[in-house]
Structure 1
Amino acid sequence: MSNTEPMPGNQPYDHHPQGGPHHFERRRDGSAARRTALIIHTIADIAAVFLGLWILLYLLEANRANVFVGFVQGMADFLGWWSQDIFTMDTEGLRVFLNYGLPAVIYLLVGHGIAARLRRL
């Protein structure tokens, strides 16, 4: 004896109470854009942190022979290679501040702008 009708209170498998049968597909597409936006946002923040940290370490005259200081300087040089010697002041601290601060600001503006645009998709 077989009964093909669902028991009272049970819903068929294709029932989606939160927005119809395509609810999960729409959510998956939006999540990918949000994840990509978060990744871009985070990369921009990390780049700006390295550049800002190098400015701080330089202005505080950190020991450049230290492994951590050398790593931060190397990352800042890698991230800011395109902006080196844009500003050629006599004051060394101001020169470092501007030459590494400019790419930090640009990375933040561009990264956050792209992330905001992706979130709107």
Structure 2
Amino acid sequence: MRHPTSIISLVAHVLAAILVLWILLDLFGANTGNPVVNWFHHAADWLSAWSRGLFTVNNHTGQTLLDYGIPAVVYVVIGNLVTRRRSVA
């Protein structure tokens, strides 16, 4: 059985991976009519709802990186902090 801290770390990294994959799909102009691309779009929107529009820039690339990159970093940092704290205790 997996240790709870490894599960927390895995979940945090999977959430970040979904966001990073959406960033790449968006920046490369993936067809949002495709069901897989659409799923990643909706998942990333849900995961980043709290941070979208936190900062605004004048270009699409920068806005996408900020809107979805910030939560990706936050999820990994929080996951790693929780994992580190649990392994020390």
TM superposition score category, shorter chain reference? over 0.9
Matches within 5 A, 1:76-115: 76-115=44-83
Structure 2: 5+ residue stretches without partners: none
2:36 maps to 1:68: yes
Structure (1/2) with the larger helix percentage = 2
Structure 1: 5+ residue stretches without partners: 1-30
Alpha-carbon shift at residue 117 of structure 1 (Å):
1.2
One-letter amino acid of the counterpart of residue 76, structure 1: A
| 4+ runs deviating over 2 angstroms | none
Alpha-carbon shift at residue 89 of structure 1 (Å):
1.2
- The aligned length equals 89
Choose 1 or 2 for highest CA Rg: 1
The 2-side partners of 1:50 and 1:68 are apart by 12
2:13 maps to 1:45: yes
TM-score under structure 2 normalisation? 0.94
Q: Which moved more, 1:103-112 or 1:84-93?
A: 84-93
Deviation readout 1:49-80 (Å, 9 max, x if unpaired):
00000000000000010000000011101110
SS class of match (1:119):
helix
Deviation readout 1:23-66 (Å, 9 max, x if unpaired):
xxxxxxxx8xx711011101100000000000000000000100
Using CA pairs under 8 Å that are at least 6 residues apart, name the structure with larger relative contact order, 1 or 2.
2
SS class of match (2:31):
coil
Give the superposed CA RMSD: 1.3
User: What percentage of aligned pairs have identical amino acids?
Assistant: 36
